[in-house]
Amino acid sequence: MTAATLWWVRHGPTHATGLVGWTDAPADLSDHAALARLDAYLPRAAAVISSDLVRARTTADAIAGTRSRLPDDPALREIHFGAWENRHVNELMAETPDALMAFWDRPGDSRPPGGEAWRDLEARVGAAADALASRGGDIIVVAHMGAILTQLGRALAIPPKATLAHRIDNLSVTRIDFDAGRWNAGPINHRP
């Protein structure tokens, strides 16, 4: 693979209060100043790609400007919470505390009923990131917190639990470079 820089952007806020994975919740893109700062910070010549979920798509469209827009990629989606989708953590804690705690305390192979484990998300997003890196150059990837964290964990070579300790804010940028067969993290959770 040639050298590449993936500029991971977390979509705009959804204001959802439950676990939102594959739910197609819209993003609040009313902070035009934040979007303008984000647009100005990102490389002009970069292509833009996003997850196929509306909150990522509309955020990507809002910052694309004159940049080339690649087709949406479902492999860049957030983790699938299965039966936990749109449920509040407090509600789940009252019903299935052991399963919920295993999911957060021992991420990797624990999964919500009918959903994905962290390792599933890592594999799915990692394959998409590898394909993007093979293009070379700068690529802006508008995705979700979990998707971004999987690639940060890979670049930092840290386990899932340590990865989940990182913060990824809405409309933040986490730069991950690929060069000489290695992934390296640049600025993490940068708010332009």
Q: Is 140 strand, coil or helix?
A: strand
What pTM, to 2 d.p., does this model score?
0.95
Give the closest residue to 140 by CA, choosing from 6, 3, 29: 6
Contact predicate 14/27, CB 8 Å: yes
Q: Which helix (H) or strand (E) holds 153?
A: helix 145-156
For the stretch 101-157, pLDDT in tens is 999 888 888 999 999 999 999 999 999 999 999 999 999 999 999 999 999 999 999
Q: What is the CATH number of domain 4-185?
A: 3.40.50.1240
State both tokens at 14: 């959804």
